[in-house]
Amino acid sequence: MVTAVAISCMGVLLVRRFVDARILRDHHEATDPMMACVGTLFAILLGFMVANAMTRFEEARLNVQEEAGATGDIFRLSQSLPPPTNTEIMSDCVKYFDIVCDQEFKLMEDGKLSDQCWDIYADLWQHCTAYEPKTQGQSNLHQGLVAAMTKLGECRRARSAQITYRLPTVLWVVVISGAVSIIIFTLFFGVDSLVLQLAMTSIVTLILVLNVYLLDAFDSPFSGNVKVSPLPFEVNRTIFHKAMSKLPTIQNK
């Protein structure tokens, strides 16, 4: 940020060194509308892209919440199933929470998912599809289980796509070149007060750099300074560890 502002100020000084301020002032009638055109175009593009990146970030956050919720539903629905199905599914759910919280969120910073988690997910599916309900109540629970498993799968696959998706390189090229073009246009103004022009150019550069930083920060929801937290998983993990510790009590009911 500081570098960009320094370079843009040096640009102003360089232009002023080789081109008289009076000549630049005479060109304001052309510089003004051209910069307005370029500035408006870039502002809409960058603004939309930042909004889009923030929307994708929010979707990633909600997806984590839904995934934790789906796993929680699987845990609770399986509690009333007969043993050993209930304990198998419940302990798989708890293992899933543990690995997601302890390992997978760290791996996601490097764009990876845990193979162990995929295995547990596969085991959960296996238990759910192999279970044969004996009563209507168990059948209703089974239907709920299959629906919750489908939801868990959707969310997990969505998370897998979210950690790998990035804005295309060509988009970054257009954004950076657009920002540079606007800063270059600010150099073509000849304001009487050099200090004032340096201040205005610095402010424009700062705003552009901050917005590009926002775009970068929100583009990768699971890494960087702004990232989605595993809190929904952590909350459920604590609750379900306690529930598992009471398991013999549940089974005797």
Partner 1 sequence: MSFVAWNIITLLTIGAAMCGVLLVRRYLNKEMLKSNHQVTDPLMATVGMLFAILLGFLVANAMTRYEECRLNVQAESGAVGDIFRIARGFNSSIRLPIMNNCLKYIDSVSNDEWPALSLEKMNDQSWNIYSDIWSEISLMQPDTQGQSNLHQALVGAVTKLGECRRARAAQIQSHMPAILWLVIYAGAFITVCFSFFFGLESVKLQLMMTALLTYVLCMNMYLLVSFNAPFAGDVKIQPTAFGVNQKLFRQILNKDVQ
Instruction: State the nearest-atom distance from the C-beta of 93 to partner 1, in Å.
Output: 17
Contacts of partner 1 in 170-189 (CB under 8 A): 170-171, 173-174, 177-178, 181, 184-185, 188
**1 is a contact residue toward partner 1 (CB under 8 A):** no
Least Cα distance to 123 among 92, 154, 94 occurs for 92
**166 is a contact residue toward partner 1 (CB under 8 A):** no
User: Binding residues for partner 1, how many (CB under 8 A)?
Assistant: 60
Least Cα distance to 237 among 108, 114, 95, 81 occurs for 95
**Shorter beta-carbon distance to partner 1: residue 175 or 243:** 175
**Shorter beta-carbon distance to partner 1: residue 122 or 210:** 122
Contacts of partner 1 in 106-135 (CB under 8 A): 118, 122, 125-126, 128-133
Instruction: State the nearest-atom distance from the C-beta of 246 to partner 1, in Å.
Output: 28
| Of the residues 4, 54, 158, 244, which one makes contact with partner 1 according to CB under 8 A | 158
**Shorter beta-carbon distance to partner 1: residue 168 or 248:** 168
**7 is a contact residue toward partner 1 (CB under 8 A):** no
Q: Who contacts 78 (Cβ-Cβ below 8 Å, separation ≥6)?
A: 85, 86, 89, 90, 93, 141, 145
| Of the residues 30, 203, 207, 231, which one makes contact with partner 1 according to CB under 8 A | 30
**62 is a contact residue toward partner 1 (CB under 8 A):** no
Report yes or no: 186 and 35 within 8 Å, Cβ to Cβ: yes
> Binding segment for partner 1 among 138-146, 199-207, 220-228, 229-237 (CB under 8 A)?
138-146
CB count, 10 Å around CB of 80?
A: 12
As a whole number of angstroms, the distance between CA 79 and CA 251 comes to: 9
> Binding segment for partner 1 among 60-68, 81-89, 146-154, 241-249 (CB under 8 A)?
146-154
